A and B are shown apart, each in its own frame.
Chain A
Amino acid sequence: MRGKRGFCALVIILVIALPLAFAGGRGEKGEVTFVMVPKLVHPFYEPCYEGFEAAGERFGIKTEFEAPPKAEVDLQVKVIENLISRGVEGIAISATDDTGLKGVVDEAIAAGIKVITFDADAPSTSRLCYVGTNNRAAGGTAGEKMAELLGNKGGKVALLLATLGAPNLLERAEEFQKAFDSAGPQYKVVAVEGFETDLAQAVNKTEALLQTYPDMAGFFGVSAYGGPAASTVIKEQKKVGKVLVCGFDDLEETLDAIRDGSMQFTLVQKTFNMGWISVDVLKKAMAGEAVSEDYDTGVIIVDKDNVDSYMEDMKKELMSQ
């Protein structure tokens, strides 16, 4: 009996103490603090925060990174509510959901906090502006380049999305299809497949698609894992160079695939710029300056020629402004 009660007490103490031990400290009063709130912890946001932090240092602003444990809107709302209680000055959110954030964004603005979105927009909220990739433009760029690479022969292309319902992926896919199909009748997007964020499923879908369309000419990996999945299968089936692959974002696997030729190019979002410009915009907003609706940070096409230098080039270009 004694042992059991002691055990219960220990568990309760641990449950309360452990999260506190890992919690960050509070900011000092009087210091301006901007916080970046991504959808979840993910390597994609690391260069975003690098840019955010670098700009903070340049302008003398304290910067922080607060990520929800999972890409779920109610968790993101909780994080933002905590920031409102803490009284930070600016928040940049990569929105997990659009309408789900309306309430908390309104509360933040009412509390005098400047709120913008980056990377993933929430257009129906009252955020000041969106800093990030115009996904439609990116998709269109990819479609044009793919048609160019296939040459006059043209060919069939399949799109690999991740979750079928992500708005930014759908935008990219739609514009890719428009740009690609309109290049001529010999260019056709024949299939759109989805997979959860597990590489195994993406590979299974790619294999099945190659079975279905033996004369498939190319794949567009609309989200980060699609490209590496297609490259893996192309390499295995010894079709490198015969089936073209274009990807999105710059996972290490994607860059490796470009280096070994199984992927022709990838569109890399200017994540460092997103972070940097977010701080710049929040600073302007605090000073009462007008900020525009959208800042399209754009994408760069990374292929064999610039695969090792693009990151440095991106940073140099921005910080020299």
Chain B
Amino acid sequence: MNGLENTIRAKQKRLNIIRVIVKKREAGIVLALLIMSLGITAVAPRFASGQNFYLLSRQISLLAIVAMGEFFTILTGGIDLSVGSLIGVSGVTCGLALAAGVPPLLAILIGLSTGFCAGLISGWLVSYVGLTPFIPTLGMLSMARGVIWVITKGWPITDIPKEFLFIGRGDVLGIPFPVIIMVVLGIAAHIVLRYTVFGRRIFAIGGNEQATFLSGINVKKIKLFVYGISGFFAAVTGIIMVARFDSAQAAMGTGWELDAIASAVIGGASLMGGAGSVLGVLIGAAIMGVIQNGLVLMKVSAYWQTLIIGGIIILAATLDRLKNK
């Protein structure tokens, strides 16, 4: 009797675990990612090679980091259109510092502060001047890019010290360093959003800003900070890119804001705010990276790629929405 009961209980436990996993918000897109990867491997077996995964994971990590920062602003019901330009301007200030002989750590700090402060400016315009986020971040997109043009006149900065390149090109135990940075930042972001008061309040603002304000929470200060965080993450990506390419170009980061937003949305973040997860954003970025990589490996004509990528983004977001209704 006991033996039978135990077997039944064990089976139920296993089913419950499966149920929990399937019910998880991210199950839909993980499934989509798996199906896509299997499909691509079937047509182009080299997709599943160790070397391809190594390269692909590094490509994805750059997008994932800036997408996580973007996610913070989307959670509050806002948006940050300037992240692409912030990647650029942070990379350029870091690059300038390095070329001027500033020690790498200090140069990194300079780059990070550039992104963070630019983000704070956008945040101030959103919170304290009261502009709707689309406008000031759109303006910052142009202003930050403009600052780059004025400083560099279009010329790239190429005197990057060799030790710095490890950040973008090195690996630890076979894992590319940028991937490690992504994982560390991802865990930190997840902990902040799920387990700190600050994080809970961000969700609350996205859910219902008025109610949160009326319950005495300093909404303005939190929103200000959230845009600073977005700028900070963009800066991290920019700095890694400088290390990866051994130069800071004036055009770096152009257009990345759209991919960052797409990653967050595919990952389940609602543009209204208040919903989403860091894991979702990472999977969203992975989907974006896998699509782009897969289409080239499957020898799809370059002219069709743009169309297909757009279609898959819409499909993935729709599936996720339907699943979570």
Contacts and interface: CB of A to CB of B under 8 A. Distances in A.
Nearest to B293: A208
Interface of B: 44, 46-47, 49, 51-52, 55, 59, 62, 149, 153-156, 158, 169, 241, 244-247, 249, 251-256, 292-293, 296-297, 299, 302-303
Contacts of B153: 41, 43
Contacts of B245: 199-200, 203, 232
Contacts of A253: 156, 158, 247
B52 A211 contact: yes
B48 to A, nearest CB: 11
Interface string A199-218: 11001110111011010000
A251 B156 contact: yes
Contacts, number: 78
A256 interface: yes
Given A41-B149, A43-B153, A200 B296 contact: no
Nearest to B237: A200
Given A193-B296, A212-B296, A207 B55 contact: yes
Contacts of B52: 211
A251 to B, nearest CB: 7
Contacts of A211: 46-47, 49, 51-52, 55, 296-297
A196 interface: yes
Contacts of B154: 41-43
A21 to B, nearest CB: 14
10 contacts: A198-B254, A200-B245, A203-B245, A207-B55, A208-B293, A211-B52, A212-B296, A225-B249, A232-B246, A252-B156
A204 B59 contact: yes
Interface in A32-55: 41-43
B156 A200 contact: no
A192 B44 CA distance: 18
A96 B51 CA distance: 40
Interface string A111-146: 000000000000000000000000000000000000
Contacts of A194: 302-303
B65 to A, nearest CB: 13
A191 interface: yes
A147 to B, nearest CB: 23
A236 interface: yes
B64 to A, nearest CB: 13
B255 A192 contact: no
A199 B244 CA distance: 10
A102 to B, nearest CB: 27
Contacts of B155: 43, 252
Given A197-B251, A253-B247, A164 B303 contact: yes
A194 B303 CA distance: 8
Contacts of A208: 55, 292-293, 296-297
